Amino acid sequence: MFIRKKRNASGSVSVQIIEKIGRNNKIVQTIGSSKDIDEIEVLYQEGLKLIPQLTKQPLLDLFPNDNSENIIDIFVKNLSTNSIVCIGPELIIARLFDYIGFSNIVDDELLKHLVITRLINPGSKLKVIEYLKRYRNIDMDIMKIYRFMDKFHLKYKEEIEEVAFNHTKKILGKITVLFYDVTTLYFESEDEDDLRRIGFSKDGKFQSPQIMLGLLVGEQGYPIGYDIYEGNSYEGNTFIPILQKFEKKFNLQKPIVIADSGLLSKNNIEQLKAHNYKYILGARIKNENHITKSKILSLNLDENNAIATVAKSDDILVLSYTDKRAKKDKYNREKGLARLEKRVKSGKLTKDQINSRGYNKYLHLENEIEVTIDYDKFNEDALWDGLKGYITNTTLSPNEVIENYSNLWQIERAFRISKTDLKIRPIHHYLKHRIEAHISISFIAYTVYKELERIIKLHDKNLSVQIALEEIKTIYGLEYTNPLTHKKKFEVLKLNEIQLKIQNIIEIELGCLE
C-alpha cells in the first residue's frame, strides 16, 4: 500500500491509500481532501499511520478451514531461501533509471543490473554475478557481461551523455555554472598499453599503470559529461578541450567555469580568456611572486577579518581564512615534520630521495653529504595556516566566489563511484573497451544517485541518500505457491517506516499516481 495525492478538477488534492493489485491501483481509503498545503501534509501523515493498521490481518484468514494450522506448517516448510528476493533496487533504483531515460539507450536488462549493483553492491564483475545469484535468483555468465562491455562504451557514450545532460537541464533549467575536475584510476597490473600509463597518481600508486578521468558537472553536482585520458597526461591539458567539446555539443552559453588549482596554469588562463570564459580557479597562493605574497600576509586575516581581495593583473585574487582550516594545516605540517625527522634520524635518507613534493620541501642538503631539516622554512609555513585563495575574472562578490567554489567537492562523490574496483587483469585488445565501459556504467550510476538524492532531499531533509540505499537493499519480496489455489505469486514483504516513506516519495515524485 502507498499514499496518493490526487489533484481534483476543483483544485483540491485528495489524499488516498492505494493498494496495487497487478497493474491496477485500488482505492482502499480516502483520508480527506484540501486546498491548503499544510492540511494536505497532515492528511498525508495520517495516511502513513493508517497503512500498518490496514495491512494487519489474521494469518488464519488466508486458510479458512479446519486444517489451517497444518496447511500453514506445510506452507512454511516448503519456503526456501530462494523464495526471498531482494526487490528494493528494482522498486526504487530501476524506476529512477527508467525515469531518467537510460532504458531507452539499449534494450538489455543487463545494463540496469550493472548500474544497480554499482550503487548497491559495488565491486568486481564477479561480484555482480554473485549479487544477482544471491539476491535476485538470476544466473549470469561472466562472459556475457564481458561481451556486453566490449561493445558498450563506444556505441553508447554519446547517448549516455545526452540523456544525463537533458535530465540535468530539466532539473537546473539554464546551465550557468560548470565544475571540472580530474582523478586517476589505477590498475593492479604492471602492464601499460595505449591508455593505461604510469604517471602522477592522486592515489599515491606511482608504480601502477593508470588512466585519467575528467568529469564535468553543473550546479549541485548534476552530471554533464566525461572523458578518459592516457594515464601520463597532464591534467591541465584536458581542461580547455573538454569545455569546448561540451559547449559545442550542448550549445552551452558560456557558463562560469570552476576548477581546482591543479588546472591553474598560465596557458589555461590565457585560453579561458581567449574564449571569453568567466572562471573561478583554486589559487596556489604560496607560489605567488614575492610582492603578492607580502600583500596576502599583510592582510592579517583571522576569524574576525576572514575574507579579502588582492588585485592581480586582469584577475582578482580572493582570500579566505578559517580557524578550522588553520588547525588542519598545522596538524598536517607537524605530522609531516615528525615523519621527516624519523627518516632523517634513521640515516637512510639519501640525496636522490629529496624532492619538492609534500613535506620533503623542508629537507636541506648540507655539504652534499648530510640531509637535514630546514626548521626556518617549517616555521615560515605556519604563516599560511588557514589561508585559501581563489583566482577569478567574474564580477561576483568574494563571498559568492567562495560559495561557488565550495561546491566543487560534489565531483568527489562521482569519483568514488567510479573508483570502486578497477582490478581488470586480463590483457587483450578488448581491455580498453571494458575500462571505458566501466566508466560509462559508473557515470550512469552517479546520475541515478544524484536523482535519488534530489528526490529524497525534496521530501525529507533528515533522510540521507546513504541511509536510503541501505534501506532499499533490505526491501524483500516473497515468491511462493498458494497452497489453496496452487498458483505462483509474488508479494513484497511488509515495509518498515523508512522504506514506506521512500516508496511513497518515489511514487509521488515520478508522477506514477494518476
Number of CB atoms found within 10 A of residue 217's CB: 27
Statement: residue 54 has pLDDT above 80: no
Report the share of the chain in percent with pLDDT over 90: 31
Average pLDDT over residues 181-196: 60
Give the pLDDT confidence score for residue 455 in this predicted structure. Answer: 93
Average pLDDT over residues 256-272: 85
Q: Pick the range with the lowest mean pLDDT from 13-22, 349-358, 403-412.
A: 349-358
Q: Pick the range with the lowest mean pLDDT from 137-146, 206-215, 427-436, 475-484.
A: 427-436
506 with 434, same domain?
Answer: yes
Statement: residue 327 has pLDDT above 90: yes
Looking at the structure of the chain, the number of domains it has is: 3
8 with 75, same domain?
Answer: no
SS (H, E, C) 90-153: HHCHHHHHHHHCHHHCCCCHHHHHHHHHHHHCCCCHHHHHHHHHHHHCCCCCHHHHHHHHHHHH
Q: Judge contact between 493 and 476, C-beta under 8 A.
A: yes
Average pLDDT over residues 5-23: 81
**Residue 505 maps to a domain:** yes
> Is 13 buried (19+), middle (13-18) or exposed (0-12) by CB count in 10 A?
buried
439 with 503, same domain?
Answer: yes
Band (191; pLDDT cuts 50, 70, 90): low
47 with 113, same domain?
Answer: no
Band (29; pLDDT cuts 50, 70, 90): confident
Q: Pick from 347, 363, 383: which residue ends a domain?
A: 383
What span, in angstroms and rounded, lies between the C-alpha atoms of 500 and 57?
A: 18
Statement: residue 351 has pLDDT above 60: no
Strand runs labelled E in 313-354: 315-321
**Residue 30 maps to a domain:** yes
pLDDT digits (tens, 9 = 90+) for 279-301: 999 999 998 999 999 999 999 99
373 with 435, same domain?
Answer: no
pTM for the whole thing? 0.75
**Residue 51 maps to a domain:** yes
Average pLDDT over residues 44-54: 78
**Residue 34 maps to a domain:** yes
H/E element, 296: helix 290-298
Residue 158 or 344, more confident = 158
Report the share of the chain in percent with pLDDT over 70: 81
Give the pLDDT confidence score for residue 267 in this predicted structure. Answer: 84
Average pLDDT over residues 367-373: 65
498 with 466, same domain?
Answer: yes
Residue 478 or 137, more confident = 478
pLDDT digits (tens, 9 = 90+) for 457-468: 988 888 999 999
Q: Pick the range with the lowest mean pLDDT from 22-26, 103-107, 159-163.
A: 22-26
Give the pLDDT confidence score for residue 418 in this predicted structure. Answer: 63
Q: Judge contact between 281 and 392, C-beta under 8 A.
A: yes
Give the pLDDT confidence score for residue 242 in this predicted structure. Answer: 87
What span, in angstroms and rounded, lies between the C-alpha atoms of 387 and 383?
A: 9
Helices (H), 354-480: 375-381, 398-406, 410-419, 431-459, 465-472
Give the pLDDT confidence score for residue 343 in this predicted structure. Answer: 77
114 with 82, same domain?
Answer: yes
Mean of all residue pLDDT scores within the chain: 81
**Residue 206 maps to a domain:** no
Statement: residue 417 has pLDDT above 90: no
**Residue 342 maps to a domain:** yes
Give the pLDDT confidence score for residue 231 in this predicted structure. Answer: 59
What span, in angstroms and rounded, lies between the C-alpha atoms of 179 and 183?
A: 14
Please name the residues in contact with 193: beta carbons below 8 A apart, sequence gap of 6 or more: 209, 427, 431, 432
494 with 436, same domain?
Answer: yes
Structural domain of 340: 326-383
Give the pLDDT confidence score for residue 427 in this predicted structure. Answer: 42
Give the pLDDT confidence score for residue 325 in this predicted structure. Answer: 95
Q: Pick the range with the lowest mean pLDDT from 94-108, 235-249, 318-332.
A: 235-249
433 with 509, same domain?
Answer: yes
**Residue 151 maps to a domain:** no
370 with 330, same domain?
Answer: yes
49 with 90, same domain?
Answer: no
495 with 439, same domain?
Answer: yes
| Cα distances (Å, whole numbers) of residue 314 to 24, 177, 273, 397 | 64, 21, 10, 16
Average pLDDT over residues 256-274: 86
Q: Judge contact between 468 and 181, C-beta under 8 A.
A: no
Statement: residue 430 has pLDDT above 80: no
**Residue 503 maps to a domain:** yes
Statement: residue 151 has pLDDT above 90: no
Give the pLDDT confidence score for residue 423 in this predicted structure. Answer: 47
